[in-house]
Chains A and B, each alone.
Chain A
Amino acid sequence: MAELAIRETAGQVQCLVKGELTIYQAASVREQLAALVNEHPNAELDLAGVTEFDSAGVQLLLVLKQKARQLGGEWALVNHAQAVTEVLETLNLAAQLGDPLLLTDSGNGGQP
């Protein structure tokens, strides 16, 4: 079962996704997220709590990001859980669905 928690901090809307994000939850989650994207084209989707992830989840995120862009905003995906990262690596979709902050040339270019 997937749970969504929406919170707003300093004008930045954040949505936390917890639980499974697969074909079994896609229908229910999609409705809530579609409503959210229409309301807030600029938001962050926190994927730290995702436990399971599959192609259906990939498609859902892609479509939501596309919608946000059409509305002139940007949905940023952050804090990818291990389950999500694995799938993105397998399908080579990091460029489209990766964390915008981690998409640098070297993964450890930061200060220690």
Chain B
Amino acid sequence: MNLDEAKGALVEEGRELLLAMEEALLAIEQSGPDAEAINAIFRAAHTIKGSAGLFGLQSLVDFTHLVESLLDKVRNNELAVEPAMLSLLLRCGDYIGELLSAVEASGEDQDPDAAKRLELMKELGGFLRKVSAVAATPPTSPVQVLATDAVSNECWHISLRPSLDVLRNGMDPLSIFRYLGKLGRIVHIHTLTDALPALDSFDEESGYLGFELEFASDASKQEIEDAFEFIREDSQLLILPPHSAVAAYIELIASLPEEPALLGELLVQSGALTAHELDKVLARQREDTIPQPIGEMLVQAQHVAGPVVSAALTKQKQSEQKKAQEQVFIKVEVSKLDQLINLVGELVIAGAAANMAMSQNNIEAMAGANEDVIGLVEMVRDASLSLRMVAIGEVFQRFPRVVRDISQELGKDIALTVTGADTELDKSMVEKLADPLMHIVRNAMDHGIEPAEQRLASGKVAKGSLHLNAHHDSGSIVIEVSDDGRGLNKEKILAKAIEKGLVQPEQSLTDSEIFNLIFEPGFSTASEITNLSGRGVGMDVVRRNIEQLRGVVEVSSQQGQGTRVQIRLPLTLAIIDGFQVKVAEQILVLPLDQVVECVDLGQGNGHNDLFNLRGEPLPFVRLRELFELGQADAIRESLVVLQFGQNRAGVVVDKLLGESQAVIKPLGQLFGQSKMLSGSTILGDGSVALILDVPNLIQRACSTAKTTSQDAMLARAAAGING
């Protein structure tokens, strides 16, 4: 085990400990302090400190030591737990997490956020001083902290924003840069052009350019300042010596007129700062509700031309690669592995039995052995696929903290309940679900749940409740976020949609169609913009993200009673149980999970693409027509009834062939446009069969049935099926 791996283990372990610490803190907040929880928190801080000490990660050790000292006081009943302390400890946990990420990114122990560190240390010190005049650890004075907090940059950093009149007064910054070349070496310069006005309001004699320089020189600060003497008058000039404190850079960013995000990128790109500063900027960017890589943001705003952003983007990519690398390992329950190995053992025995039957030419024994092998192959398949499955609790576990923080921010009292956390889904989906879920939860807390006085006025309990639930349902996983808030206002949504031109005033929409308008881009009903949501971004992004996972998201609501957002995802496994059908010599495969039943279509039982199934109208599509496979020549057609979520529809095929396993192969570019196909598979005889996309087929059947039915009764019946 090399050092990097060991450090990786430290980070991994640290994160787990922090999670335990957070859980314990939230438990104390909910139900008062108990010795066990306090011990758990102390242990977490202590263990992280110990491991960090092994690697000589001094800044991590120093910080966790302070946290530990405070907890020690609490443990010995010298200090009482209070809400302010709990939220301080939660923030400390977050900061330790940032430190760990910094260690992970570079193996170094650099400070991700000096300002935050200072503030937290001050607060920790405040609590420690409460104990007695003789505090076990006197808090380090800020000056010292800053001194150990220098950046690695060996150059002077110069920020110059000349006054508008600089050119008019006959001074060109260019000449100063040429002069600086005599004092030292300009390692990097970045010219800021975003203050340039448009051509029509452009004054050719004003100076609009700003400059950021990295300057390597042995000259004194005075000498460097003197170079700018003639233009210093009303220009903004900031000069940071080599190895300045991180905080000085934070101040610099704050005092310059440009966007902090842009400056952060520039500073990293020019080598003034290490990547950690950028990480901080990126973190800030992630909190922004517009999920757009910063670089693109800047290029779009034409702040920076393409190549200029590349360095920063490389950095971003590296951290993504880091993420991808984390996926190299996956935790698997030992029992699952044991089960798989047992099955493989059985398979080996069954294979031997089949061989024996072969050599004896015993047909009956061969048939039996073959059946055994096939049965075992199926079991091995299921067992090995389940290795990739993880409990959705991995995503859910972050929400107690999120809900706590947001409810405090909003001043609402909201309780979160979680059910079905052990529902399993594919590992790759777990990560991609986190962001959309976060959006939905924030939305529910921000817009769904009313303030306490409003709740009391409408006869509800003051405490709002939010519920996360997951369960399996016919081959998909369903995740629900429900709240007992004010619900969605149909009229308001419809009015807004008409105003935005999303629907025509004369269109008649079902309730669920109206509710689902909130997922349209640019749609937001919030009359007041809070910093959480209500900017009209979010829900459309949620839908896009879910659709990328081949899932569907739907919302249902009861005015005054609450809202429920339902995400339905396929379990996307590489192998499915398929149901083969034949249409005009083409073999097609339907996922067996979504097949409900098969019925004989008979003659004249399908008018207007609606079939009378035991008195219920069922919309259907003829695959022959859909794929333009020509006319049927007087055969008995069969109808396969499919179900996805709440919706049912039928497909008409020539022949039913029965069940078979299908290993899903992706379709090439050629079929990329076809919404009706989801993949292909190789049949036992080596030929290729296409796998149909059931959700899209059902949608198609329902919509054609709706449009072609002349009869209002039928339309209502079809709508009843849709709902």
Contact = CB atoms under 8 A, between A and B. Distances in A.
Interface of A: 23, 26-27, 30, 34, 37, 54-56, 58-60, 62-64, 66-67, 69-70, 87, 90-93, 95-96, 103
Interface residues of B, number: 27
A67 B178 contact: no
Given A23-B167, A37-B199, A67-B198, A95 B306 contact: yes
B647 interface: no
Interface in B114-135: none
24 contacts: A23-B204, A26-B204, A26-B205, A54-B172, A55-B167, A55-B172, A59-B196, A59-B204, A60-B204, A63-B197, A66-B198, A67-B198, A90-B174, A90-B177, A91-B174, A91-B177, A91-B191, A92-B188, A92-B190, A92-B191, A93-B191, A93-B193, A95-B305, A96-B308
A70 B204 CA distance: 19
Nearest to B191: A91
Contacts of B199: 34, 37, 63-64, 66-67
Contact of A95 (B172, B196, B202, B308): B308
A90 B209 CA distance: 13
Nearest to B166: A55
A55 B196 CA distance: 12
Interface in B175-216: 177-178, 188-191, 193, 196-199, 202, 204-205, 207-209, 211
Contacts, number: 76
Given A66-B302, A90-B189, A95 B205 contact: no
Main secondary structure of the interface of A (DSSP, over half): helix
B668 interface: no
B444 to A, nearest CB: 41
Closest 6 pairs (CB-CB, A-B):
A26-B204, A67-B199, A95-B307, A95-B305, A91-B191, A96-B305
A87 B174 CA distance: 8
Contacts of B191: 58, 91-93
A63 B196 contact: yes
Contacts of A55: 167, 172-174, 207, 209
Interface string B200-237: 00101101110100000000000000000000000000
Nearest to A88: B191
Given A23-B167, A95-B307, A90 B178 contact: yes
Contacts of B305: 95-96
Given A56-B204, A63-B196, A90-B189, 5 more contacts: A54-B174, A56-B207, A64-B199, A66-B198, A92-B189
B435 to A, nearest CB: 32
Nearest to A89: B189
Contacts of B177: 90-91
A62 B193 contact: yes
A95 B307 CA distance: 6
A91 B189 contact: yes
Nearest to A64: B199
Contacts of A34: 199
- With a 10 A CB-CB cut-off, give which of A26, A55, A93, A96 has the most chain B CB atoms: A55
B302 A23 contact: no
B189 to A, nearest CB: 5
Contacts of B302: 66, 69
A56 B196 CA distance: 12
B514 to A, nearest CB: 38
Interface string B679-700: 0000000000000000000000
A37 B199 CA distance: 10
Contacts of A67: 198-199
Contacts of B204: 23, 26-27, 30, 56, 59-60
Contacts of B196: 59, 62-63, 66
Nearest to A28: B204
Contacts of B209: 55, 58-59, 91
B111 to A, nearest CB: 29
Contacts of B306: 95
Contacts of A30: 202, 204
A64 B173 CA distance: 21
- With a 10 A CB-CB cut-off, give which of B177, B191, B302 has the most chain A CB atoms: B191
